[in-house]
Amino acid sequence: MTSALHFPFGNAICYSGYRRDQSPDNKTYPSVAEIREDLAILAKHWRYLRLYDCSLHAERVLQVIQEDKLDLQVMLGAYLGAEVSNPGCPWGGTFSEEALDASTAANEIELVKLVILAGMYPQIVFAVAVGNEATVDWTDHLVPVPRMIEHVRWVKARIRQPVTFCENYVPWQDKLRDLVAELDFISIHTYPVWEYKHIHEALEYTKDNVHSVARLYPGKPIVITEAGWATRSNGRGIQPENVSQHLQAIYYEDLMQWSLESGMLVFVFEAFDEPWKGSPDPLEPEKHWGLFDVDRKPKQVMQELFAELVG
């Protein structure tokens, strides 16, 4: 970190609290009681949470942190939907003009909510992220870089917190060069297991991903806002033999040791399994990144720290 922007070091994790039969797609959100249960777990070990949107879910998280006086800081995200079609998306990124107009209007409303919540909770929201994986080649919610710059400038003019954008490491290497100048820090996603790396090469691959960006922008602060290892897979994009709770534990421990040694803030992906994600297949890897399962039972990596929840 540069002296101009320094976040005190601490454990960081991505939090999305959707349980069985809940989903942001149909706007069925975790209750205040469910969020309170989650945050009581997370506050025992983590200092920083990353949230992905400004929905009722985020509002309730911020409410509980304030009401319960939890020692948690939040990177608050704004979810940006597609503003242009992306025919290169393997799972469908082509939309009608009417749908794109509606999505663009929803994005503008989302950014207003981001500004409002950042202003309401200045002691809790330590940074904001304007969008998530909205510029990578495979995204189904593509936002052109010039529009991203407009969105970032609009938000920065209205809040006091540092502003970033969260994206896979590849676009930062070239496509996002003009955006970098607008941001207070760069947020990188790195997933060795999605790129067919085995556990013995995973940490070095993560380091290489970060260094490939860092060397292009000397002095620009960098945070890893997603890094993790799935525990189950049906083979879609990840070999089933390359995921398990044991492998997750190895990568997590290696990643945390490097984070501690380097001083780099790393948001682990993610707190809890999310059944709503991906295909209906129960072994869909998108559903199985949590350090805890959907019933809030700790997986292997967390069983020693949270022995009271085992069983």
Q: How far apart (Å, rounded) are the C-alpha atoms in residues 91 and 238?
A: 16
Q: What is the CATH number of the domain that holds 190?
A: 3.20.20.80
Q: What is the pLDDT of residue 2?
A: 33
pLDDT digits (tens, 9 = 90+) for 177-222: 999 999 999 999 999 999 999 999 999 999 999 999 999 999 999 9
Please state the rounded mean pLDDT for residues 266-289: 96
pLDDT digits (tens, 9 = 90+) for 290-303: 999 999 999 999 99
Q: What is the pLDDT of residue 282?
A: 95
Q: What total number of domains does the chain contain?
A: 1
Q: What is the pLDDT of residue 247?
A: 98
Is residue 6, in this structure, part of any structural domain at all? no
Confidence of residue 310 (pLDDT cuts 50, 70, 90): confident
Please state the rounded mean pLDDT for residues 42-65: 98
Instruction: State which residues form the domain around 297.
Output: 12-309
Q: What is the pLDDT of residue 9?
A: 87
Is pLDDT of 40 > 80? yes
Please state the rounded mean pLDDT for residues 271-283: 96
Residue 88 CA, chain-centre distance (Å), reads: 23
Is residue 4, in this structure, part of any structural domain at all? no
Is residue 2, in this structure, part of any structural domain at all? no
pLDDT digits (tens, 9 = 90+) for 57-107: 999 999 999 999 999 999 999 999 999 999 989 988 999 999 999 999 999
Q: How far apart (Å, rounded) are the C-alpha atoms in residues 137 and 167?
A: 11
Q: What is the mean pLDDT of the chain?
A: 96
E strand intervals along the chain: 12-14, 48-50, 73-78, 125-132, 163-168, 186-190, 222-227, 266-268
Percentage of residues in the chain having pLDDT higher than 90: 95
CB neighbourhood size of 127 (10 A): 25
What's the whole-model pTM score? 0.96
Q: Per the structure block, which two tokens stand in for 126?
A: 């330590």
Is residue 62, in this structure, part of any structural domain at all? yes
Q: What is the pLDDT of residue 59?
A: 98
Is residue 33, in this structure, part of any structural domain at all? yes
Is residue 3, in this structure, part of any structural domain at all? no
Is residue 5, in this structure, part of any structural domain at all? no
Is residue 7, in this structure, part of any structural domain at all? no
Q: Could you check whether the bond before residue 201 is cis, i.e. omega within 30 degrees of 0?
A: no
Q: What is the pLDDT of residue 69?
A: 98
Q: What is the pLDDT of residue 3?
A: 33
